[in-house]
Amino acid sequence: MATTDFRARLALLTGPSGVGKGTLVTRLLERHPQLWLSVSATTRAPREGEQDGVHYFFHSRESFDRLVSEGGLLEWAEFAGNCYGTPKRPVLDKLEAGTPVLLEIELEGARQVRCSFPDALQIFLAPPSFGELEQRIRGRGTDAEAAIVKRLDRARAELEAQQEFDAVVINDDLETALGDVERLMGLADA
């Protein structure tokens, strides 16, 4: 199913919390509207302003478990008491139609997708340093200290896995990182 043809290429972007994945993906989609970003499913409650089917597909735990048991997810994981996953059918439909697909997923999800789509382009977005990552996470001002410590512990483990990926892009400067991702995905001239 996976292909190296750009028109039907599956690419995924992974990196620790606070590295700037969301910002980079937003800019990538603005510059390349032909890309389709997969919308994840989750059991967590919607945050203010989030819309079902736009930001996430919000599911009850029972509904999510049914998706898992029926093989309806490419990958899934549980984090902080909530489940997250990538619905399989929309991704397959887009790839079959020749649409380039981008997944923004966590490390465990990337490992699962690697088994199903070994030809997918896997990009790891890394911070310039661990200290910079910690500053970014703390600078958000949205998490309690216990949550920050948990994110930083998880980030250490994720950073140790970056050699598993096809490419590592350092997000020290957003424009440079964006250009690097565009070149890797074959979008530099698109």
Question: Residue 73 pLDDT > 90, yes or no?
Answer: yes
What Å distances lie between residue 7 and 77, 96, 157, 165, 178, CA to CA?
A: 29, 10, 33, 21, 19
Averaged pLDDT, 82-102: 93
Averaged pLDDT, 52-59: 92
Considering the chain, what percentage of its residues have pLDDT values greater than 70? 95
Question: Residue 84 pLDDT > 50, yes or no?
Answer: yes
Averaged pLDDT, 1-28: 78
Domains of the chain and CATH, by start: 6-185 (3.40.50.300)
Lowest mean pLDDT among 6-15, 38-47, 80-89, 146-155: 6-15
Question: Residue 6 pLDDT > 70, yes or no?
Answer: no
Exposed / middle / buried, residue 80 (Cβ in 10 Å: 0-12, 13-18, 19+): exposed
Question: Residue 113 pLDDT > 80, yes or no?
Answer: yes
Average pLDDT, the chain: 89
The per-residue pLDDT for 190 is 54
What Å distances lie between residue 74 and 24, 34, 43, 85, CA to CA?
A: 23, 22, 16, 7
Question: Residue 180 pLDDT > 50, yes or no?
Answer: yes
Question: Residue 4 pLDDT > 90, yes or no?
Answer: no
pTM: 0.85
Considering the chain, what percentage of its residues have pLDDT values greater than 90? 66
Q: Residue 19 — very low, low, confident or very high, per pLDDT cuts 50/70/90? A: very high
